[in-house]
Amino acid sequence: MTALDLSLPAASAADAAPQAKSLIGLTREGLRAALIESGLVDEKKARMRADQLWRWIYHYGVTDFADMTDVGKELRGRLAERFTLARPELADKQVSNDGTVKFLIRFAPGVEAESVFIPDVGKAGALCVSSQVGCTLNCTFCHTGTQALVRNLTAEEIVAQVMVARDHLEEWPTSNENRRLTNIVFMGMGEPLYNLDQVDNAIAVIADGDGLSISRRRITVSTAGVVPKIPELGERTSAMLAISLHATNDDLRNELVPLNKKYPIAELFAAIRAYPGLGNARRVTFEYVMLKGVNDSEAEAKALVQLLKGVPAKINLIPFNPWPDSPYECSDWDTIEAFAEVLNRGGYASPIRTPRGRDILAACGQLRSESKKLRASERRKAEQDAANPG
Ligand code: SAH
């Protein structure tokens, strides 16, 4: 290649004006650092300014610096030149006939993930957020598992999912009464414990009482069982723990959740029992997907009761949600009820999760985006195409 090839894409990209950075999703520390780095706020005042902006961003949900009425007009103008309060692009929004809403969010060209708002869960409603685009785990019954990992989401991108949902619900400023969005579950795409640093930062923003103010007791992180990260999750985030169990013996679990080969059931339960703060008011949620003829026998229900002995637990029985070409069927309703009955007699609350949002592929395990991991050259091209449409 000649050194004088001026048609190289990199040259035109370098000439373009630097894009204004969105402040959405930053932690307090990140916000302070961004203000200092911009040179608009001197270091001594940075904490005060960051706290001021924080409230506007996360309590009031403003999308325009002009609305920040206690910030001087000149500074507001300069902030608006350097930064934005833009949310990531909402590529699609679908509303199920049961009120479930699925958001497809485009974080960057070709990097899309879904989040799902489910009304009438928890005190009022839960938002199911994604922590990765795609997944590495390949659980055989999960649609997301058929999509290769594209990348981890950043804390900003995780928080942005909450901001988008709150925009949709028009729940600004943050209120303490009559909220529709009260709970956050990390049960969307990806394995949160493979992205713990970002999940931890996102939880710090979401739980902050001066902002989105969703308390850590109402934030649940679900894992397929990344055992070495489980204690860390508890110590760093104080979030509620959920475990995608789905089988009571290693042979079957190896098949359904291949991660089990690395961290078998005995090791998983040792980590669960040691999770900080467990008690009757803070139980572990076990998710158990009901697969016809695979894991739904009465003997397995009894084995589950044995396995959970001494663990403060509740069990969510999830009727299998089919997806295109999925290799399983959902257990019959009678079978699911009989399974639940054994658990109830064993002393465990085991609500059967009514499938929500199935008609729009928004139910557990149905999430998948078209995003693929691109080579660097393909990614640059996609970014350029997005910057210069048409
Ligand atoms: N990787 C984490 C977070 C994803 S949670 C984890 O595995 O816990 C998504 C939940 O939906 C998990 O409990 C998963 O086992 C369940 N799930 C996946 N596919 C499903 C399907 N087709 N039907 C019902 N539930 C499913």
Q: Are 101 and 94 in contact (CB under 8 A)?
A: yes
Residue 177 has a pLDDT of 83
End-to-end Cα separation, the chain, in angstroms: 28
**Residues 282-305 pLDDT 10s:** 999 999 999 999 999 999 999 999
**Residues 310-321 pLDDT 10s:** 999 999 999 998
128: enclosing H helix or E strand = strand 124-128
Ligand 1 and 114: CB distance under 6 A:
no
Ligand 1 and 132: CB distance under 6 A:
no
Mean pLDDT (the chain, rounded):
90
- Give the residue, 351 or 306, on which the prediction is more confident: 306
CATH number of 89-360: 3.20.20.70
Cα–Cα distance measured from residue 64 to residue 57, given in angstroms and rounded to the nearest whole number: 9
**Residues 331-374 pLDDT 10s:** 999 999 999 999 999 999 888 877 777 777 776 667 777 777 76
Residue 389 has a pLDDT of 58
Average pLDDT, stretch 237-253? 98
Catalytic-labelled residue, pool 128, 135, 139, 364: 364
**If you take atom 19 of ligand 1, which residue's CA is the nearest one?**
365
Ligand 1 and 320: CB distance under 6 A:
yes
Residue 268 has a pLDDT of 98
What's the pLDDT band for 118 if we cut at 50, 70, 90?
very high
**Residues 55-110 pLDDT 10s:** 999 999 999 999 999 999 999 999 999 999 999 999 999 998 888 999 999 999 98
Place of tokens 């997907």: 289
* Ligand 1 atom closest to Cα of residue 242: 8
**In the predicted model, is pLDDT for residue 11 greater than 50?**
no
Q: Are 225 and 263 in contact (CB under 8 A)?
A: yes
With the most atoms of ligand 1 within 8 angstroms of its CB, the residue from 140, 189, 222 to mutate is: 222
Residue 41 has a pLDDT of 93
Of the candidates 103, 121, 105, which has an alpha carbon nearest to the alpha carbon of residue 362? 103
What's the pLDDT band for 51 if we cut at 50, 70, 90?
very high
Boundaries of every domain in the chain: 21-84, 89-360
358 to 128, 183, 190: CA distances (angstroms) = 14, 20, 19
Tell me how far the alpha carbon of residue 282 lies from the centroid of ligand 1, in angstroms: 21
Ligand 1 and 222: CB distance under 6 A:
yes
- Give the residue, 261 or 143, on which the prediction is more confident: 261
230-237 and 196-207 helices cross at what angle (nearest 10)?
A: 30
Ligand 1 and 24: CB distance under 6 A:
no
Residue 18 has a pLDDT of 60
The residue type at 42: D
Residue 74 has a pLDDT of 95
Of the candidates 161, 225, 169, 228, which has an alpha carbon nearest to the alpha carbon of residue 199? 161
Ligand 1 and 191: CB distance under 6 A:
yes
Residue 325 has a pLDDT of 86
Ligand 1 and 287: CB distance under 6 A:
yes
| 135 counts as catalytic | no
Beta bridge partners of residue 108, listed in sequence order: 111
The residue type at 224: A
Residue 122 has a pLDDT of 65
Average pLDDT, stretch 246-256? 98
Ligand 1 and 289: CB distance under 6 A:
yes
* Ligand 1 atom closest to Cα of residue 186: 3
With the most atoms of ligand 1 within 8 angstroms of its CB, the residue from 118, 141, 292, 358 to mutate is: 141
What's the pLDDT band for 145 if we cut at 50, 70, 90?
confident
Place of tokens 């109830």: 344
The secondary structure of residue 145, as a DSSP letter, is G
Share of the chain above pLDDT 70, in %: 89
21-84 belongs to CATH 3.40.930.10: no
21-84 against 89-360: fold identical: no
Tell me how far the alpha carbon of residue 223 lies from the centroid of ligand 1, in angstroms: 9
Of the candidates 214, 218, 212, 215, which has an alpha carbon nearest to the alpha carbon of residue 60? 212
Residue 363 has a pLDDT of 67
| 128 counts as catalytic | no
Residue 178 has a pLDDT of 86
265-273 and 230-237 helices cross at what angle (nearest 10)?
A: 20
Ligand 1 and 195: CB distance under 6 A:
no
> Parallel, antiparallel, or unpaired: how do β-strands 89-95 and 101-108 relate?
antiparallel
* Ligand 1 atom closest to Cα of residue 135: 1
**In the predicted model, is pLDDT for residue 4 greater than 70?**
no
Catalytic-labelled residue, pool 114, 157, 191, 287: 114
**If you take atom 3 of ligand 1, which residue's CA is the nearest one?**
187
- Give the residue, 314 or 10, on which the prediction is more confident: 314
